[in-house]
Structure 1
């Protein structure tokens, strides 16, 4: 009996997992892009969220393959707990990075403001007003009236009070 005959069940299950991963990635990509187009078409943020979701799908696929190929559940739990401990300690040291990434995802899906909006940040120590020119994973780029470029962390945008300043309406002749 050769390798391919002996592990036929595992090979079929691996093929199914790969097929499911490919289909999930395609469906998630289409769903996120459709959501983005229906709210606003910000391609940079859309691609970033798609990358995060693809990473999660890939991690779940690797865990599935480990289970399919017969790695003992106790070994998996020990390995995952060790990885979680190392990542937890590293992220505790870098909590602000994780906070900004999470805030960037929340800003993507909730769309409280978009590129081109003029916002006023109600910070007790440093209030300011600026136009949003880009929203990244970690920070938002704003330009003030004086032309100063401000890089503001996403987690602070969720923590501080924000007002969206509407541009003044131009007087236009009304036609029916």
Structure 2
């Protein structure tokens, strides 16, 4: 037992346990805060779910990084692996930049709440445009029901770039 204490393994176990406790507290506090915020602005649960998922991925990544640092894993080797992984992911995201921009726009729409489900909006696009009632706000697009009853999927990044008029608000 003395050999275990001398090597600092018990302090690593305690630090790891503390990291897990901090992770759990942050996860619970963030989930409650986002739920309360979503209820105040009358967002559907599915919309809040996407934002919670983002924070969960961020917290898990932070937790894993903390554990790597606590246990003293060779950082150079870990950084080579991570940089290679980020390079591959970066190329994939660059190839699909619109996916990333749609997710970013979704976060902006969530936190600024310029539109709500049930609002009737008009998106100005030159002489034409899109007008209809917002049926749903997804991670990548808005579902808008036009006057003909058709559902139009409008990308979040485009709605942030185009002038949008709120015709009626619920």
* TM-score normalised by length of structure 1: 0.89
Of 13, 32, 46 in structure 2, the residue corresponding to residue 30 of structure 1 is 32
Q: What does 1:1-176 correspond to in 2, within 5 Å?
A: 1=1, 5=5, 6=7, 7-124=9-126, 126-166=128-168
Structure 1 gaps, min length 5: 168-176
Confirm or deny: 8 A CA contact 2:43 2:116 kept in the other structure.
no
Q: Separation in 1 of the partners of 2:3 and 2:102?
A: 48
- Number of aligned residue pairs: 167
Alpha-carbon distance, 1:119 to partner: 0.2
Q: Separation in 1 of the partners of 2:33 and 2:141?
A: 25
Structure 2 gaps, min length 5: none
* TM-score normalised by length of structure 2: 0.92
Alignment root-mean-square deviation, CA: 1.7
Moved over 4 A (4+): 1-6
Q: Separation in 2 of the partners of 1:125 and 1:10?
A: 65
Alpha-carbon distance, 1:89 to partner: 0.6
Alpha-carbon distance, 1:3 to partner: 8.6
